[in-house]
Amino acid sequence: MAEKILINEVGLRDGLQMQPKFVPADGKLELANALIDAGLRSFEASSFVSPKAVPQMADAADVFAGLPDRDDIDYWALVPNERGYDRAIEAGVRNVALVLSVTDTMNQENIRMSVEESAIMFERVLKRCAQDGIKSRAYVAVAFVCPFEGITPVDTVVRWTDRMLSAGAEDISVADTIGAGTPTQCKDLISTLVGKWGADKFCLHLHDTRAMAATLAWVAAEEGIRKFDASIGGLGGCPFAPGAAGNAATEDLAFMFESSGYETGIDISGLRKAVGVAERLTGLTLGGRITKWWLSQEAKQAQAAQ
């Protein structure tokens, strides 16, 4: 039996959060349904952040209210603080994610707090998650490179990972927030984390700024990682991180793992349709690195049909 890879779709949140064209809740739900039809079963559907800071996420409660009620799908919400947690719980969210940037400069740029101040706040949120029966994930952001402080030492990532796991986070998403990691760096970091806590505790969140996302995903898979964040069409970026390009494209990772003998449960042709929905909603030309191959196959099929 093929080993399973879980791809957590972050296009609805990380992918859309900085898009200038507002996508209303109905559009976000249309995209969610297209992705569900393609086989995605884990989503970061929205974030309960300040609408003034991230207007695209102002309709988070409406999005969660409209998502299909299915036991086989996990819907996640990002929460920045206890107020965001309160709003998420009011909206019926059962899975929450927190983002801890592990350098002070990045954390100050992001939420105007030091790493220590954020960690204390998130410890309170994680305690409430345990009390409320809410599943929790902590992002360890800028785990590879900080746009302000440079390469992030492995020991720094280990220290804050330990802090979040000790506080009750059920797993950790290791984030290459600006897409500047290298294969050697990825191997060193992931092997260290897996050696301390086991691969099941970790997900990898990659950006494709330097065309390395698929390579890093493969390196991490060789170290035992089986959970990856990705965004349909490569949508995304971080509004607080200069130089951050789009996320790893869902279609690129799904195709790479499926063609290598892993099982993702995702229909690649269904993803092609979902990319079309995302393009129509955002007005952007989207698609991962597999897009040119897709187009060549479609042209070949059209020619054969003539």
Alpha-carbon distance 98 to 119, whole Å? Answer: 10
Q: Tell me which of 146, 186, 203, 238 is the catalytic residue.
A: 238
What is the CA angle 252-222-262, rounded to 5?
Answer: 50
Cβ proximity of 157 and 102 under 8 Å: yes
- Which DSSP state fits 97? E
Residue whose structure tokens are 């785990």: 143
Catalytic residue check, 238: yes
Residue carrying the six token digits 């063609």: 259
Place of tokens 């965001």: 84
Separation of alpha carbons 264 and 251, rounded Å:
11
Beta bridge partners of 284: none
Backbone phi and psi for residue 169, each to the nearest 5 degrees, phi listed first: -60, 130
Query: Please, how many CA atoms are within 13 Å of residue 122, restricted to the half-sphere of its CB?
Result: 31
Token pair, residue 163, equals 């802090």
Burial of 155 (0-12, 13-18, 19+ CB in 10 A): exposed
Cβ atoms within 10 Å, residue 276: 14
Measured from the Cβ of residue 125, the count of other Cβ atoms closer than 10 Å reads: 23
Active site residues: 238
